[in-house]
Chain A
């Protein structure tokens, strides 16, 4: 009983502040609830879902934009995070300081970081174009261009890659060194040791990073809200930004709730897909889970 007593502060918070509002939003998604005209709320059944999926072109547009961004940024995070972890796993002077530096962005405010990136991506005086110019490459319009705004957000997402790298690093540091020694005795080179030992053993880390990054990227909001507000020409109208616009700009809370639950269903399906596929590519203790 005492265990439940200790658990109760969290449970009350979860039920009152998470589960309760979730269920409320589920109920609202079947109504036409408008924030400032709550008294006129009526039950509309699945109209909000039908309208979102069949009548509102911006829903599909925002899903396409978000998917494009998520695919690029998740892949980049998985690869760059792993490369960074391999670097941070090496033993050299100052490695502690370097690890701290790479994790710092994780504790910096998203708004502050977004403003910083906005300066970096300024077409005329930004660092990004200055760096390209150093190599003789013409700069681009970045967040002011329909073509480059998503790649700009993808690059911005690398700002938080330290978080993924630390998950990889924890796993890398747990790999027994005798595996590498045995492989070396058998004549395996660095590339073979990486593909035959390191990569299979970090697949649990890839799994968790893939799931966390996918969920996180589909929920991108702060950066887009601060940097582009969905522009130019809706080229960066991410799904959650559009949801927010419906909820707090048009005050269509019922419709926005439906959009929220549609996103929840998409993310649940993607997560289940990743989990279901994991036995095929995630290795535990150096062997496939089902072997």
Chain B
């Protein structure tokens, strides 16, 4: 019979062994997976970094997976679907740690790429591109540049962490009925005109913002606490910083640039749209004009309470289909320095820690470089424009029937003015992004001017970048 003391003593001696169980299990799991994959030739695609799990998207992906299996390349594809983006991003890390990573992530946006690029999670595809004579010139230049993560690999590197899979430009969508009712001319559909500026858009938005007594912010007695219709909503004020010439990171000097006059002016302009001019509905204000919905901006737009919104091509099925009024799209206005709008880019990437890279490459090549497959996957599978130059213009043809009367060409014409810079990687990417809430919430809430908060943000964020360089090296070094 063991005494209590003896039992505790033996348990203590066993504890280190028990502590190693999770690692042992992980290691065993990883080996088993490797053996199985090599014999079965099955490649797993993680779907969940953003889009790809909507019911209408799944059959498109599965149809292409079946086509790949039938094409006789010697393998097949299955999907690991994780509906929540944050969860999917966490799960990838956990699966890698457990020795059981998926072979590919498709699609993933640049933000998803940036989360992991400095942890060597993504396999560099440039070797495969060269070996198989895939001409990078097939792809739209902006998408190619983004897939090369120049801030990490260097501007001259041909490294590629993903094959462009879909691109989404942004335009201004507007409620034609509200414009007509207010007697305000509709915004131009042409990009880069001198008349359509941030200031002009502010004037238009002011005319279209109303309190419950029908007064605009220019009228005496306007009640900012009782707004029932906003001129602007669902708006990317961060992009306006770019329009003012602000840019957060200079790869040459390896410094952040949050406290430049341009960055400060752009940030303040965006915050003033909410707190000073009262024309822009943030989520909280949007909830005030369209209560009870999970997505207040969507509810406010579809219920006709927002005159203009930033519309990503990825919003067409939600914001576009949901609108029960006459609407159209126009160009983004130009800032004092640039006319620029956001470009969301999706790519397909191979997870470096996975096995069977050759099979994964064949899958990506089949789905993303064969023109018909690539167009099907991007347009029908993700609601995106194909990043292949030969296919990108077909976006309008494929979607025009679903959105009659909407000038979808504006989305295509946006390309020369669109940039993925907003999501580009820089050192300590996540930490610095998280800090923005800490330092900039007060600016967006109107509690502090940008000039007061940005120097602190700059200092804290630069410290994080400097610390990153103490423990990491760039591949270009």
Q: Is B157 an interface residue (CB 8 A)?
A: no
Instruction: Kindly identify which residue among B15, B288, B431, B439 contacts A15, using a CB–CB cutoff of 8 Å.
Output: B15
Instruction: Kindly identify which residue among A35, A122, A125, A233 contacts B438, using a CB–CB cutoff of 8 Å.
Output: A233
Q: Is B125 an interface residue (CB 8 A)?
A: no
Pairwise interchain contact B431-A250, C-beta atoms closer than 8 A: yes
Bound-state CA distance A20–B353 (Å) is 27
B1-34 CB contacts (< 8 Å) to partner A: 1-2, 7, 11, 14-16, 18-23
Residues of B within 8 A of A4 (CB): 2, 7
Q: Is A23 an interface residue (CB 8 A)?
A: yes
Give the contact stretch, choosing among B91-99, B141-149, B341-349, B364-372: B91-99
Residues of B within 8 A of A123 (CB): 284, 288
Residue of B nearest to A15 (CB): B18
Q: Is A234 an interface residue (CB 8 A)?
A: yes
Pairwise interchain contact B22-A20, C-beta atoms closer than 8 A: yes
Q: Is A288 an interface residue (CB 8 A)?
A: no
Contact with A along B434-474 (1 / 0, CB 8 A): 10011101100101000000000000000000000000000
Pairwise interchain contact A15-B116, C-beta atoms closer than 8 A: no
Bound-state CA distance A1–B2 (Å) is 7
Q: Knowing A11-B11, A15-B11, say if A20 contacts B19 (CB, 8 Å).
A: yes
Q: Is B181 an interface residue (CB 8 A)?
A: no
Instruction: Kindly identify which residue among B288, B291, B442 contacts A233, using a CB–CB cutoff of 8 Å.
Output: B442
Residues of A within 8 A of B291 (CB): 122, 124-125
Pairwise interchain contact A125-B287, C-beta atoms closer than 8 A: yes
Pairwise interchain contact A248-B441, C-beta atoms closer than 8 A: no
Q: Is B399 an interface residue (CB 8 A)?
A: no
A226 smallest CB distance to B (angstroms) = 12
A231-249 CB contacts (< 8 Å) to partner B: 231-234, 237, 245, 248-249
Bound-state CA distance A230–B435 (Å) is 11
Residue of A nearest to B101 (CB): A36
Q: Knowing A15-B11, A122-B287, A125-B287, say if A35 contacts B18 (CB, 8 Å).
A: no
Instruction: Kindly identify which residue among B15, B120, B442, B445 contacts A37, using a CB–CB cutoff of 8 Å.
Output: B120
Bound-state CA distance A15–B447 (Å) is 51
Residues of A within 8 A of B18 (CB): 15-16, 19-20, 23
Q: Is B119 an interface residue (CB 8 A)?
A: yes
Bound-state CA distance A20–B93 (Å) is 22
Instruction: Kindly identify which residue among B2, B21, B97, B437 contacts A35, using a CB–CB cutoff of 8 Å.
Output: B97
Instruction: Kindly identify which residue among A15, A23, A229, A251 contacts B93, using a CB–CB cutoff of 8 Å.
Output: A251
Q: Is B430 an interface residue (CB 8 A)?
A: yes
Bound-state CA distance A169–B442 (Å) is 45
Q: Is B90 an interface residue (CB 8 A)?
A: yes
Bound-state CA distance A251–B430 (Å) is 11
Pairwise interchain contact B19-A23, C-beta atoms closer than 8 A: yes
Residues of A within 8 A of B377 (CB): none
Bound-state CA distance A245–B90 (Å) is 11
Pairwise interchain contact A27-B437, C-beta atoms closer than 8 A: no
How many residues from B make CB contacts under 8 Å with A? Answer: 38
A136 smallest CB distance to B (angstroms) = 16
Residue of B nearest to A51 (CB): B467
B386 smallest CB distance to A (angstroms) = 31
A159-194 CB contacts (< 8 Å) to partner B: none
Residues of A within 8 A of B447 (CB): 146
Q: Is B121 an interface residue (CB 8 A)?
A: yes
Bound-state CA distance A144–B282 (Å) is 12
Pairwise interchain contact B93-A248, C-beta atoms closer than 8 A: yes
Residues of A within 8 A of B437 (CB): 229-234
Pairwise interchain contact A36-B442, C-beta atoms closer than 8 A: no
Q: Is A21 an interface residue (CB 8 A)?
A: yes
Bound-state CA distance A37–B97 (Å) is 8
B201 smallest CB distance to A (angstroms) = 26
Instruction: Kindly identify which residue among B7, B11, B121 contacts A36, using a CB–CB cutoff of 8 Å.
Output: B121
Residues of A within 8 A of B20 (CB): 20, 24
Q: Knowing A4-B2, A124-B288, say if A20 contacts B15 (CB, 8 Å).
A: yes
Bound-state CA distance A37–B291 (Å) is 45
Residue of B nearest to A251 (CB): B93
Bound-state CA distance A27–B19 (Å) is 9
Residues of B within 8 A of A37 (CB): 119-120
Bound-state CA distance A232–B14 (Å) is 46
Residues of A within 8 A of B14 (CB): 15
Q: Is A34 an interface residue (CB 8 A)?
A: yes
Q: Is A38 an interface residue (CB 8 A)?
A: yes
Residues of A within 8 A of B93 (CB): 35-36, 248, 251
Pairwise interchain contact B22-A21, C-beta atoms closer than 8 A: yes
Q: Knowing A245-B434, A250-B430, say if A36 contacts B116 (CB, 8 Å).
A: yes
Pairwise interchain contact A35-B288, C-beta atoms closer than 8 A: no
Instruction: Kindly identify which residue among B15, B90, B288, B431 contacts A125, using a CB–CB cutoff of 8 Å.
Output: B288
Bound-state CA distance A99–B7 (Å) is 43
Instruction: Kindly identify which residue among A23, A27, A251 contacts B119, using a CB–CB cutoff of 8 Å.
Output: A251
Residues of A within 8 A of B90 (CB): 248-249
A11-42 CB contacts (< 8 Å) to partner B: 11, 15-16, 19-24, 27, 34-38
Pairwise interchain contact B21-A36, C-beta atoms closer than 8 A: no
B370-404 CB contacts (< 8 Å) to partner A: none
The listed residue with most B CB atoms (<10 A of its CB), out of A20, A35, A125, A233, is A233
Contact with A along B135-178 (1 / 0, CB 8 A): 00000000000000000000000000000000000000000000
Pairwise interchain contact B21-A16, C-beta atoms closer than 8 A: yes
Pairwise interchain contact B94-A35, C-beta atoms closer than 8 A: yes
Contact with A along B72-106 (1 / 0, CB 8 A): 00000000000000000010011011000000000
Pairwise interchain contact A36-B284, C-beta atoms closer than 8 A: no
Residues of B within 8 A of A237 (CB): 438
Pairwise interchain contact A249-B430, C-beta atoms closer than 8 A: yes
A143 smallest CB distance to B (angstroms) = 10
Bound-state CA distance A124–B116 (Å) is 39
Residues of B within 8 A of A15 (CB): 11, 14-15, 18
Bound-state CA distance A37–B284 (Å) is 39
Bound-state CA distance A233–B445 (Å) is 10
Bound-state CA distance A46–B117 (Å) is 28
A227 smallest CB distance to B (angstroms) = 14
Pairwise interchain contact B438-A234, C-beta atoms closer than 8 A: yes
- Closest 7 A/B residue pairs (Cβ): A20-B18, A124-B288, A232-B441, A23-B19, A233-B441, A24-B19, A20-B19
17 A-B pairs with CB atoms under 8 Å apart are A15-B11, A19-B15, A20-B19, A23-B15, A36-B97, A36-B353, A37-B120, A123-B288, A124-B287, A124-B288, A124-B291, A231-B437, A248-B90, A248-B93, A249-B90, A250-B431, A251-B119
Given A4-B2, A19-B19, 8 more A-B residue pairs with CB atoms under 8 Å apart are: A15-B11, A16-B18, A23-B18, A124-B287, A144-B445, A237-B438, A250-B430, A251-B119
